[in-house]
Amino acid sequence: MFIFLAAFLAQSASAAVGTSLGFSSQGSSLGGMTAALPRDGASIFQNPASLSRPSQGKFEFLWSLIWAEPQVTEISSVLVENSTNSDRNFSGPVDTDYPTVIGQAIGLNYQWAKSPIKPAFGFLTYLPIDRFAQLDSGEPFQPDYVLMRSRLQKPEFHFGGSIQPSPGFRIGTGVQLGATLNSKTSVFLQSNSSTTNSSSMRIAASLKTKASPYFGVQWEPTRTFLTGLTVRLPLSNPETFQIRASARTIGNVAALDFNYSALATAYYEPLTVEWGNRLELTPDVAVWGQVDYQAWSRFESPQLEIEPPSTTQCAPNCGVQFAPTRYPSFTTQDVIVPRVGMEIRAFRMGYAYERSIFKNDDSAGANNMVDPNKHRFSAGYRFMGTSFLETDLPWTIDCHALWTYLERQTVQRATGELGAPGFDVGGNLFGAGLSLNLSL
């Protein structure tokens, strides 16, 4: 359990929820816009440069409630075990019950409005409500929606600041915090239950902090046009497990030793470049557009890989030596994500198209990893007021709903292959959210 808890913490950096669902209903309702949004409590993630944009208050506070429910096509009966990963041939259902996302985002930032350069700083955190986090490396030989299983089930932390060197031009920087996990486990099991024998186990794990920066720029040459650019550097959270296990299974016969190490990347977020624009057509109508570049070609899988022990490190007793893990190869690709949106008074709507991170037909087949092309539709509404709970604080409440359609696809497998005779992929992701923003 301690290993799993430590691994959860190691995942707590990358902005998967912010990228996939959004921390604020304002951007979520516009198809996932972030780079050209005005200042609010989520600005530190959306584009840190927007922290220095003039607004109603010195402080901006955000509280958001976020919900999402994945519903994918069931895979009822395929070959899930053969000589590759087991000692038998077995067909059965695949686990496609991906967890519901229920969480809250809390953000606060401060701007020194009296200074001509308007220095600002803030933080944003996301905390799941129904569970602290979830770690699941997935089944490498069975069909699995690899980006859905645990990617959205973790806390996130962001810090940063900004300045405005000249009117209308702002720059900012932020940082995501993460960690690397190193753990050692030793276990000795005894089958003899006499009072003089005992099974034992020890776990020792350590976390080392990692940080990945991101940068933002906003330019507002006129009141009706705003453009912004955000660059997020990649962040991987590696795990290393050292396992030393012994088992005495027959009387007092010498125990068998099983020594090996396992490696994985608990979570990976790619290099991302986001360029967004906002054009105000009339005082009541504005159009939005954004293009994201996501460098998924360097994707690091969460699947655990077992390595053979090094005889120079485990001598003189290396125990039973196992074959290393040999998963089927896969090829990922960089993707371009276009986003468009429109704002008509208090109503917003948006659309985004997300290509699979796997090349060609691999989107539903390579290594049985599944990531179909996705179409995201969203809409939202804003309520505004000038006094919150009998105070003079200006407030806004934004709400949104989204529907992500996963394109349907059929995968065929040859007789005897894992996943045979084949399976269908596709489905939906439904989501909604509510954001309260206070200007203090």
What is the predicted pLDDT for the residue at 414? 83
More confident residue, 99 or 191: 99
Structure tokens at 412: 């065929």
Distance CA 327, CA 330 (A): 9
Distance CA 399, CA 195 (A): 63
DSSP labels for 329-382?
P--B--EEEEEEEEEETTEEEEEEEE--SB-GGGGGTGGGEE---EEEEEEEEE
Distance CA 265, CA 10 (A): 10
What is the predicted pLDDT for the residue at 251? 64
What is the predicted pLDDT for the residue at 196? 73
What is the predicted pLDDT for the residue at 418? 83
Distance CA 168, CA 160 (A): 20
- pLDDT, averaged across the chain: 84
Q: Residue 412: how many CA atoms within 13 Å on its side-chain side?
A: 1
pTM score of the predicted model: 0.84
pLDDT tens for each residue of 308-326: 655 445 555 666 666 677 7
Length of the chain: 440
Distance CA 219, CA 337 (A): 22
> Do residues 12 and 177 make contact, with C-beta atoms less than 8 angstroms apart?
yes
- Residue 52, pLDDT above cutoff 50: yes
- R_g (Cα) of the chain, nearest Å: 25
Distance CA 417, CA 78 (A): 10
With bands split at pLDDT 50, 70 and 90, how would you rate the model's confidence at 219? very high
What is the predicted pLDDT for the residue at 368? 76
What is the predicted pLDDT for the residue at 301? 76
End-to-end CA distance of the chain: 43
Q: Within 10 A of 409 (CB to CB), how many other CB atoms are there?
A: 18
Q: What percent of the chain has pLDDT over 90?
A: 45
Mean pLDDT of 187-199: 76
pLDDT tens for each residue of 105-148: 999 999 998 899 999 999 999 988 877 666 677 777 888 888 88
Q: Any idea what DSSP says for residue 112?
A: -
What is the predicted pLDDT for the residue at 242? 81
With bands split at pLDDT 50, 70 and 90, how would you rate the model's confidence at 394? confident
What is the predicted pLDDT for the residue at 193? 66
What totals of helices (H) and strands (E) does the chain contain, helices first? 5, 21
Q: CA geometry: angle at 395 spanning 390 and 399, to 5°?
A: 125
Distance CA 426, CA 160 (A): 38
Q: Within 10 A of 9 (CB to CB), how many other CB atoms are there?
A: 20
The domains found in the chain, sorted by start residue, are 2-439 (2.40.160.60)
With bands split at pLDDT 50, 70 and 90, how would you rate the model's confidence at 252? low
- 47 burial (CB, 10 Å; 0-12 / 13-18 / 19+) is buried
- Peptide bond connecting 421 to the previous residue in cis, omega within 30 degrees of 0: yes
Q: Residue 106: how many CA atoms within 13 Å on its side-chain side?
A: 4
With bands split at pLDDT 50, 70 and 90, how would you rate the model's confidence at 387? confident
Give the list of residues 6+ apart from residue 104 with CB closer than 8 angstroms, or none.
63, 64, 65, 66, 126, 127, 129
Mean pLDDT of 168-177: 93
Mean pLDDT of 184-207: 79
Structure tokens at 353: 């198209």
Q: Which single residue is written with the structure tokens 């979830």?
A: 134
Q: Within 10 A of 312 (CB to CB), how many other CB atoms are there?
A: 7
pLDDT tens for each residue of 354-363: 999 988 654 4
pLDDT tens for each residue of 66-111: 999 999 998 888 888 888 878 888 888 988 888 899 999 999 999 9
What is the predicted pLDDT for the residue at 203? 84
Distance CA 340, CA 33 (A): 8
Mean pLDDT of 217-234: 95
What is the predicted pLDDT for the residue at 320? 61
pLDDT tens for each residue of 267-307: 778 899 999 999 999 999 999 999 999 999 988 777 777 77
Mean pLDDT of 396-408: 95
Pairing of strands 90-92, 144-145: unpaired
When mean pLDDT is compared over 56-60, 156-160, 187-191, the highest value belongs to 156-160
What is the predicted pLDDT for the residue at 364? 47
Mean pLDDT of 221-227: 96
What is the predicted pLDDT for the residue at 19? 83
- The helix/strand/coil state of 44 is helix
- The helix/strand/coil state of 58 is coil
